[in-house]
Amino acid sequence: MAEVGTRTADVMAAVRAKIAARALAPGDRLPSIRRFAATMGVSPSTVVEAYDRLAAEGLIRAQRGSGFYVSSHALPPLKLAEDGAPRARTVDPFWVSRQSLDADEAVPKPGCGWLPADWMPNEALRRAIRTLARGGDDMLSYYGNTRGSPVLRRLLLARFAEEGIEVAPDQLMLTSTGTQALDLVCRFMLRPGDTVLIDDPCYFNFQALLKAHQVKIVGVPYTPAGPDVAAFERLLEAERPRLYLTNSALHNPTGATLSPQIAHRVLNLAARHETTIVEDDIFADFEPEPSTRLAALDGLDRVVRIGSFSKTLSASVRCGYVAARADWIEGLVDLQVATNFGGPSPVSAELIAHVLAGGGYRKHMEELRRRLVRARRETADRLQRLGIEPWLSPRGGFYLWCTLPEGRDSTGVAQAAFAMGVVLAPGNVFSPSQGASRFMRFNVAHMADPRIDRVLATALAGD
């Protein structure tokens, strides 16, 4: 937090000591600034600073125009109740999110969906932050325009073009987060009772989000080359889904890649049944080279592309985007103004643009891809020694979708591991049909802690 000068800290300590010793009771007025400055042998501005900081902490309060008083309210406890103490809960699609987001930093989390902090481009981000501190007042103060930072949008258009996806400027908007991009699209396209097709298995939060929209969720079996086309066709006919939601590149949780043939057929079938496709491309930059994209084949006619920078750049500087038909973007912009009063924090968009524009990002991603190749191989070897087998060998990314030994239930294993202080991602949180009880998703970048193997072995033995 803010640095405190020694003298200010002394004055603060003196006030705290008086309160602790009951020389000042709740409701008492503090000595005047001038008097206390004389007592402490410091300047009045030091006392002002100390009082202001104590007021910000809640120990004393400023009565506008009449001085400072000892707060009559008990201080909130230093440690907030829920921090560092994730509760046991039902293992539902929220389970992994809450356990991995709220777990203590020290807890090994092979179940989480992000890279360790020291794998991220932190130095590039620090440079961007220092540049921001030298920037103008407007950048630091204003809401930004309704589609988000023009600089970042321009960089994104260039990157899309590099992947072969033609996007016009009026087909792109920034959003607070990648998840919020999907949420906006769902609000725009769906009504309660509509049907949405998702992959089985798929990213667990898709189910949580769609439940918030009160729609019917139908799963299509996912193969190592994309959705099962025959099942896809049957479901389009039987269920008439409004949307099909998928990851094409490095599918979550399987790490599979959509083949060009399946992409082509999925798109034709969607066109025939007037189903819109939402393609979440959040893992795109982890591919060794771009694979087939539905958005590239379709040209954003029937496909909406969404994504964010949380996996490759920073999840602490949040920003997502939607690329879609211009008239849809127009509607989505209004919806984002209504529900969020605009898009991401402009400072976040500025930081991301700065990192992307700097030459270091591509180099960082190349190194990251090499590092992940090794980590996938090493993790697969370690898991195989425990009888845990990867379903396929992904061409990129940080997930391995694995089967546990015969007869093991991954929910039970995850609960047992959680009790031993390791957060895992059991298969059924990803499966709309609950048909993945023998599967488990492993994040190969979070396997450094040697305890993990022991905990896994114990959990597997005990289940």
Site for its own copies in 261-300 (CB under 8 A): 288-289
Coil/strand/helix, residue 222? strand
CB of 408 to its own copies, least distance (A): 28
Please report how close the Cβ of residue 302 comes to its own copies at its closest, in angstroms: 21
* Interface with its own copies, residue 34, by CB under 8 A: no
Which is closer to its own copies, CB of 211 or CB of 385?
211
* DSSP 8-class letter at 29: B
* Smallest separation, CB 96 to its own copies (Å): 10
Q: Which of residues 338-357 bind its own copies (CB under 8 A)?
A: 338-342, 344-348, 351, 353-354, 356-357
Cβ within 8 Å of residue 462, ≥6 positions away: 416
* Minimum CB–partner distance for residue 119 and its own copies (Å): 8
Interacting residues of 205 by C-beta distance below 8 A, sequence separation 6+: 93, 97, 179
β-strand pairing of 389-390 with 399-403: antiparallel
- Among positions 136-155, residues that touch its own copies (CB under 8 A) are 136-147, 150-151, 153-155
Structure tokens at 332: 């989505």
Minimum CB–partner distance for residue 72 and its own copies (Å): 8
Q: Taking Cα atoms as reference points, which of 230, 228, 305, 240 lies closest to residue 272?
A: 240
Asked if 126 touches its own copies (CB under 8 A), the answer is yes
First to last CA, the chain: 45
Q: 59 or 196: whose CB is closer to its own copies?
A: 59
Binding its own copies (rule: CB under 8 A), the pick from 13, 23, 35, 82 is: 82
Q: Does 301 bind its own copies (CB under 8 A)?
A: no
Window 90-119: contact mask with its own copies (x via CB under 8 A): ----x--xx--xx--x--------xx-xx-
Phi, psi (5° rounding) for residue 30? Answer: -75, 160
State yes or no: cis peptide before 253, omega within 30 of 0: yes
Q: How far is the CB of 165 from its own copies (least distance, A)?
A: 10
Judged by CB, which is closer to its own copies: 179, or 248? 179
> Before 201, cis peptide (omega within 30)?
yes
Q: Taking the complex as a whole, how short is the minimal distance between the CB of residue 374 and its own copies, in angstroms? A: 17
Q: Of the two residues 126 and 451, which places its CB atom closer to its own copies in the complex?
A: 126
Binding of residue 75 to its own copies (CB under 8 A): yes
Q: Rounded to the nearest 5°, which phi and psi values hold at 163?
A: -85, 0
* DSSP line for 340-358: HSSSS-HHHHHHHHHHHHS
Alpha-helix residue ranges (DSSP H) falling in 240-357? 260-272, 294-298, 326-340, 346-357
Nearest approach, Cβ of residue 429 and its own copies (Å): 13
Report residue 403: phi and psi, to 5°: -100, 140
Radius of gyration (Cα) for the chain, nearest Å?
Answer: 26
Site string for its own copies, 358-397 (x = CB under 8 A): xxxxxx--x-------------------------------
**Closest distance of CB 304 from its own copies, Å:** 17
CA 10 to chain centre: 41
Determine which residue in the list 53, 242, 251, 408 makes contact with its own copies, applying CB under 8 A.
53
Interacting residues with its own copies between 400 and 459 (CB under 8 A):
none
**Contact in structure between 11 and 42 (CB atoms under 8 Å):** yes
CB of 164 to its own copies, least distance (A): 9
351, 128 contact by CB (below 8 A):
yes
Query: Which range, of 308-316, 387-395, 403-411, 444-452, touches its own copies by CB under 8 A?
Result: 308-316
* Side-chain-facing half-sphere of 265: CA atoms under 13 Å: 15
How far is residue 12's CA from residue 344's CA, in Å, rounded to a whole number?
A: 37
Task: Select the residue interacting with its own copies from 9, 14, 40, 55 (CB under 8 A).
Answer: 55
Q: ∠ CA 454-441-316 to the nearest 5 degrees?
A: 100
Examine residue 158 and tell whether it contacts its own copies (CB under 8 A). yes
| Residue from 30, 157, 278, 294 in contact with its own copies (CB under 8 A) | 157
Q: Which of residues 178-217 bind its own copies (CB under 8 A)?
A: 178-180, 183, 187, 192, 205, 208-209, 211-212
